[in-house]
Amino acid sequence: MNRRNFLTLGSLGATGLLAGGRLQARTLGTARKNPKIKPIAGTWFDFQHLNIEEGLYWDPALKDFTAEQWKEKVREIKGVGMEYIVLMGIAAFGKAFYPTTLAPRFGLACEDPLEAVLTAADEEGMKFFVSNDFWGDGRDPVKMMKDPEIRKTREKAMVEVAARYGHHKSFYGWYFPNEAWLHPYLDEFFVDYVNDCARIAKSLTPSSVNLIAPYNIKAERADDGYVRQLERLNVEVVAYQDGVGVNSTKLGEPARYFEHLYEAHQKAARSRIWADMELFYFEDKTKGNLMPADFDTRILKQMEDLSPFVDKILCYQYIGIMNKPDSKAFAGHKDSVRLYNQYKRWLDRQKEGR
pLDDT tens digits for range 144-169: 999 999 999 999 999 999 999 999 99
Polymer length of the chain: 354
CATH 3.20.20.80 fits 38-351, yes or no: yes
A 10 A CB-CB count for 208 gives 19
In the chain, domain spans = 38-351
Q: Which residue, among 194, 261, 245, 349, has the nearest Cα to 17 in the 3D structure? A: 261
Q: Which residues of 76-101 are buried (b: 16+ CB within 10 A; e: fewer)?
A: bbbebbbbbbbbbbbbbbebbbbebe
Angle between helix 224-232 and helix 188-204 axes, rounded to 10 deg: 30
Residues 13 and 36: their CA atoms lie apart, in Å, by: 33
The predicted-structure confidence for 191-215, as pLDDT tens digits, reads as follows 999 999 999 999 999 999 999 999 9
Residues 346 and 156: their CA atoms lie apart, in Å, by: 44
The upper half-sphere exposure of residue 12, i.e. CA atoms within 13 Å in the direction of its Cβ, equals: 19
Residues 320 and 56: their CA atoms lie apart, in Å, by: 9
* pLDDT tens, per residue, the chain with 354 residues: 455 443 333 333 333 323 333 333 444 444 344 458 999 999 999 999 999 999 999 999 999 999 999 999 999 999 999 999 999 999 998 899 999 999 999 999 999 999 999 999 999 999 999 999 999 887 888 999 999 999 999 999 999 999 999 999 999 999 999 999 999 999 999 999 999 999 999 999 999 999 999 999 999 999 999 999 999 999 999 999 999 999 999 999 999 999 999 999 999 999 999 999 999 999 998 999 999 999 999 999 999 999 999 999 999 999 999 999 999 999 999 999 999 999 999 999 998 886
